[in-house]
A and B are shown apart, each in its own frame.
Chain A
Amino acid sequence: MAQSKSSEARTGWLLISPPALVTLLLLAAPLATVLVYSVLTGSRGAVSLPFSAENYYNIFRSSDGNILDLIFSGEWGAIPAALTKAPYLLVAGRALFVALLVTLATVVLAYPIAYFVSFHVQPSKKALWLFLITIPFWTSYIIRVALWRTILGYDGIVDSSLMGLGLMDGQLNILSYGVTSIIITLAHAYAPFAVLPVFVSLEKVDRSLLEAGQDLGESKFRTFLRVTLPLSMPGVIAAVLIVFIPTVGDYVTPELIGGGKVPMISNFVEVELLKRRNFAMGSALAASAMIVVAVISLIFILMNRRFLGGRK
């Protein structure tokens, strides 16, 4: 055991190599392949040289002509109309919009719970509360999503109950098969992901700071705004990130809840790859999604840095 530094590093590397290799083969290599494919020329079921940016260019196409062309030729006036006819951009825009709404709803709904558990639950019972909050997450995602369909859907539980109570005499179609249903379903699915990081950051808030705040004559609410909330921001941003990333790439909910009528990015990638078998275009879509997610994540992470940095 009288090991030198280098032998310790060797053992460490030896141990880490199986999992690292698996991740390399099953994740890094495929992601690299996607990036390479996305700049190749695609045909049905195959890709070939030469390299081209055409796939990315095609993402901007609309039935009024490619939006990039419109930008470069300075036809700014035509862009808004063209945007509404650009299938990929429209879906990407909607996916981001839905994802941001879902994230906002999930985190806003989750914050009071995290606050409650952190500040108003006895320490011995905190683990139990967290366990209660995480249990639904561990039950089948498919079943949970499908359940929301039966609850919110056409002639579902909400509709039938409201009609049965005489509150309504038609189907409540706003809730059925729309963006609202997707938001409710996803806010439910990702609730624990939002509660836990916020809870962790709230737990780290030094309780004596709050007493100090109130001791200095601040009201409870003002203490919360000026001390607790800023201190818990890293947790909030982590929650935002954790909810946002999988939501952008969600597939099941739009399929089941949206009935395929509100396709999101993943559903488009599926169509391109599996139905049209255009690997190059599908790769370009997947890569663009990755890039967009990475850029947005980076923005959040930088915001987090700001919060952490500003508090030193």
Chain B
Amino acid sequence: MNRAPGLKTYAVIYLLFLYGPILILPLFAFNDASIVAFPLAGFTTKWFAEMWADPNLWKALKNSLIIALSTATLSTVLGIFAARSSVRYKWPGKPVVMGFIMLPLVLPEMIVAMSLLIVLLGIGINLSIFTVIMGHVLMCTPFAVAILTSAFQSLDRSLEEAALDLGESAASTFRLIILPLVMPGILSSFLITFTISIDEFIVANFLGSGQPILSVYIFGQFRFPAKVPSMLALGTILVGVSVVLLAIAEYFRRRGIARTGGKDTGGFL
């Protein structure tokens, strides 16, 4: 199959470019020097200890977890509504409304954050982690809709009809047939929106009013050269957690496809 050594070499270099920074993370997180530069100075775990000891990290982490869990739950629930409506029912105006719900995906994040900020300041709502959740739900819902739409689409419509035909009501059909079969998609949507929310910076920064939130905390810490190694230690952990969550999400997505007898067409987006 492979008759293009040049392309393959390029692909490897490209992957190195993609993964380079991520590979550097653990390298310098365990490096015993406060300046991030070669040559490496020896192995240490003190940066992890330093990071661990900072009480601000724990405040930020707690806030971030609250925000991410709320965001993942809300946007996944909204995604279920939207995906079910668009896949199963015919209604006038569908392309416009669905396009509108997916709009945050293609708008510059800054514009979304700023316009929301103007309104919040205008109405006089105090900025808090609640306002961050609002922004994150808006941004994450399109991702949830995309993932769940493909989950609902892989569901054979006649399964639903069969359950009705065998005497179940619409509600019990949803509970007994549809929900279990799209559950992998729901889990996958939850994990991905959770990851996006944890990583998101702009909304967290501008709608969070200086509350300690993980991404804002990291952004701030990176400004101090002395803090960089301990941030690399934190980054190592976060990247590890992200990769694990993604692997789980991917696993559920594939299992969902296998279960409903579909064919894997790959990829998240």
The distance from the CB of B93 to the nearest CB of chain A, in whole angstroms, is 8
Q: When the two chains form the complex, which single residue of A19, A144, A155 contacts B35, counting CB atoms closer than 8 Å?
A: A155
The distance from the CB of A18 to the nearest CB of chain B, in whole angstroms, is 5
Which residues in chain B, 76-90, are within 8 Å of chain A measured between CB atoms? 77-79, 81-82, 84-86, 88-90
Where chain B touches its partner, the secondary structure class is helix
Which residue among B94, B121, B200, B268 has the maximum number of chain A CB atoms within 10 Å of its CB? B268
* Bound: A28/B116 CA distance, A: 10
A258 at the B interface (CB under 8 A): no
> In the complex, what residues of B have CB within 8 A of residue A143's CB?
25, 218, 231, 235, 238-239
> Is the pair B91, A8 in contact by a Cβ cutoff of 8 Å?
yes
- Nearest B residue to A160 by beta-carbon distance? B37
The distance from the CB of B195 to the nearest CB of chain A, in whole angstroms, is 6
B138 at the A interface (CB under 8 A): yes
The distance from the CB of A75 to the nearest CB of chain B, in whole angstroms, is 34
> In the complex, what residues of B have CB within 8 A of residue A1's CB?
161, 164, 170
Question: Which range contains the number of B residues in contact with the other chain?
Answer: 35 or more
B166 at the A interface (CB under 8 A): no
Per-position binary interface string of chain B over residues 224-261, scored 1 when its CB falls under 8 Å from any chain A CB and 0 otherwise: 00001001100100110011001000100000000000
A27-B138, A269-B110, A286-B114 in contact; A140/B38 too (CB < 8 A)? no
B145 at the A interface (CB under 8 A): yes
> Is the pair B21, A248 in contact by a Cβ cutoff of 8 Å?
no
> Is the pair A138, B195 in contact by a Cβ cutoff of 8 Å?
yes
Per-position binary interface string of chain A over residues 28-52, scored 1 when its CB falls under 8 Å from any chain B CB and 0 otherwise: 1111011001000000000000000
B66 at the A interface (CB under 8 A): no
> In the complex, what residues of B have CB within 8 A of residue A161's CB?
37-38
> In the complex, what residues of B have CB within 8 A of residue A139's CB?
22, 199, 238-239, 242-243
> Is the pair A148, B21 in contact by a Cβ cutoff of 8 Å?
yes
The distance from the CB of A278 to the nearest CB of chain B, in whole angstroms, is 11
A302 at the B interface (CB under 8 A): no
> In the complex, what residues of B have CB within 8 A of residue A252's CB?
201-202, 219
> Is the pair B104, A27 in contact by a Cβ cutoff of 8 Å?
yes
* Bound: A126/B3 CA distance, A: 16
B95 at the A interface (CB under 8 A): no
A16-B86, A109-B14 in contact; A134/B269 too (CB < 8 A)? yes
The distance from the CB of B23 to the nearest CB of chain A, in whole angstroms, is 10
> Is the pair B115, A31 in contact by a Cβ cutoff of 8 Å?
yes
Which residues in chain A, 136-190, are within 8 Å of chain B measured between CB atoms? 136, 138-144, 146-151, 155-157, 159-161, 164, 188
The distance from the CB of B73 to the nearest CB of chain A, in whole angstroms, is 13
A140-B239, A143-B235, A143-B238 in contact; A26/B35 too (CB < 8 A)? no
B107 at the A interface (CB under 8 A): yes
The distance from the CB of B13 to the nearest CB of chain A, in whole angstroms, is 10
* Bound: A121/B235 CA distance, A: 32
> In the complex, what residues of A have CB within 8 A of residue B202's CB?
251-252, 266
B119 at the A interface (CB under 8 A): yes
The distance from the CB of A283 to the nearest CB of chain B, in whole angstroms, is 6
The distance from the CB of A119 to the nearest CB of chain B, in whole angstroms, is 8
> Is the pair B138, A26 in contact by a Cβ cutoff of 8 Å?
yes
> In the complex, what residues of A have CB within 8 A of residue B208's CB?
none
> Is the pair A27, B112 in contact by a Cβ cutoff of 8 Å?
yes
Which residues in chain A, 182-203, are within 8 Å of chain B measured between CB atoms? 188, 191-193, 196
> In the complex, what residues of A have CB within 8 A of residue B90's CB?
5, 8-9, 12
> In the complex, what residues of B have CB within 8 A of residue A130's CB?
266-267
A20-B101, A140-B242 in contact; A279/B21 too (CB < 8 A)? no
6 extra interface residue pairs, beta carbon distance < 8 Å, beyond A30-B115, A191-B17, A255-B219: A9-B90, A12-B86, A133-B15, A136-B21, A143-B25, A143-B238
- Would you give 6 A-B contacts (Cβ < 8 Å), ordered by A? A112-B14, A134-B269, A140-B199, A146-B218, A157-B38, A250-B108
Footprint of B on A, CB under 8 Å? 1, 5, 8-9, 11-13, 15-16, 18-20, 22-23, 26-31, 33-34, 37, 109, 112-113, 115-117, 119-122, 126-127, 130-136, 138-144, 146-151, 155-157, 159-161, 164, 188, 191-193, 196, 241-242, 245-246, 248-252, 255-256, 265-266, 269-270, 273-274, 279, 282-283, 286, 289-290, 293, 297
Footprint of A on B, CB under 8 Å? 1-4, 7-8, 10-11, 14-15, 17-22, 24-25, 28, 35-39, 77-79, 81-82, 84-86, 88-92, 94, 97, 100-101, 103-104, 106-112, 114-119, 121-122, 134-135, 137-138, 141, 145, 161, 164, 170, 192, 195, 198-202, 206, 215, 218-219, 222, 228, 231-232, 235, 238-239, 242-243, 246, 250, 264, 266-269
